[in-house]
Amino acid sequence: MDKKLIQQLTEYGQNLTSGGVNEIAIANVIALVITELQQKPVPEAYMGYALYDSDSMLYEQGKVILSKKARNKHEELIKKIAV
Residue 28 burial (CB count, 10 A): 17
The residue ranking higher by pLDDT, 52 or 19, is 52
Name the percent of the chain lying above pLDDT 70: 75
| Residue 18 pLDDT level (bands cut at 50, 70, 90) | low
Say yes or no: 49 and 31 in one domain. no
Statement to judge: residues 49 and 65 lie in one domain = yes
Output the CA angle 69-77-53, nearest 5 degrees.
160
When divided into structural domains, the chain yields a total of 2
Phi and psi (nearest 5°) for 62?
A: 175, -165
Q: Give the domain extent around 14.
A: 3-39
Strands 58-65, 46-52: pairing kind: antiparallel
Same domain? For 50 and 81 the reply is yes
The answer, as to whether pTM is greater than 0.75, is no
| Same domain? 52 vs 72 | yes
Same domain, 35 and 49: no
The answer to whether residues 35 and 48 belong to one domain is no
